[in-house]
Amino acid sequence: MKNNAVLKIIITINTLLWASACNAPSKYQDNHQLEQPPTLAIMDRENEGPPLTEKKPKTGLKNRVSLLDSNYLNLKQPFDKAWDTLATALSLNNIKISDRNRETGEYFVEYDPDDAHNESDNVSFFSFKDDYEKATYKLTLEKKVESVMITAEKTTKTSLDLLDDGDDIRFEDKNKDGKEKLIKQLYSTLKNDLPLE
């Protein structure tokens, strides 16, 4: 009898404890309302500088590139850096480099101005324009005092071999080519979309 009474008391106490746990206020069940410890900034111990923060990657050369008369790009970089920067911009635009000569500062690229995506063009997705044909363009980098001037010209030669100087490259009528579109597309990429190191 004594054991039954003790057992009933234990069961009653467990039941009360369980019931009180189930009816506890929700602020104790959910810990997101509890006070959080402060977040400490991590100091740059090597340079004894300010706290390190997560930097967003900067893009584009901004004011270090300018468009002159929609036919020329002025890039405020030394020639060697400008050579690599232009290659990166061409790659970002999926413009195929068919040949290049660093000594003369020339890139030969395959380009179709109709494929160029321009934010200023108000062309719907379903419209089709075929004003230009895919052609080879020569991009020339010319050293200036503190910058590099980039120009574009359309060539009539489709397969170029710079090692064979026997063939002269002829240029078509300037009114029929898309060199201005190429320059503007490269300008937009260099100014706004080029990833910086």
> What does the alpha-carbon distance between residue 111 and residue 139 come to, in Å, rounded to a whole number?
11
Let me know if domain 62-117+128-193 sits in CATH 3.30.310.80: yes
pLDDT at 57: 63
pLDDT at 26: 58
> What does the alpha-carbon distance between residue 112 and residue 129 come to, in Å, rounded to a whole number?
11
Structure tokens at 176: 């029929």
Which residue is listed with tokens 């020329």?
72
- Nearest alpha-carbon partner for 113 in 129, 91, 126, 92: 129
pLDDT tens-digit map of 118-154: 444 444 444 556 677 888 999 999 999 899 999 999 9
Question: Which positions ≥6 away from 156 have C-beta within 8 Å?
Answer: 169, 170, 171, 172
Average pLDDT value for the chain: 77
pLDDT tens-digit map of 91-126: 999 999 999 999 999 999 999 888 765 444 444 444
pLDDT at 172: 46
> What does the alpha-carbon distance between residue 176 and residue 111 come to, in Å, rounded to a whole number?
14
pLDDT at 120: 44
Residue 164, pLDDT above cutoff 60: no
pLDDT at 78: 94
Which residue is listed with tokens 């057992």?
7
pLDDT tens-digit map of 16-67: 877 776 665 555 566 666 677 777 666 555 555 555 555 556 678 888 999 9
> What does the alpha-carbon distance between residue 173 and residue 71 come to, in Å, rounded to a whole number?
15
> What does the alpha-carbon distance between residue 113 and residue 176 come to, in Å, rounded to a whole number?
11
Cβ(124)–Cβ(61) below 8 Å: no
Stated length of the chain: 197
Compute how many other C-beta atoms are within 10 angstroms of the C-beta atom of residue 157.
15
CA atoms within 13 A on the CB side of 22: 6
pLDDT at 174: 42
Q: What is the pTM of this model?
A: 0.59
Considering only residues 37 and 173, tell me which one the structure prediction assigns the higher pLDDT.
37
Domain boundaries, the chain: 62-117+128-193
Question: Which positions ≥6 away from 109 have C-beta within 8 Å?
Answer: 90, 95, 96, 97, 98, 136, 137, 139, 182
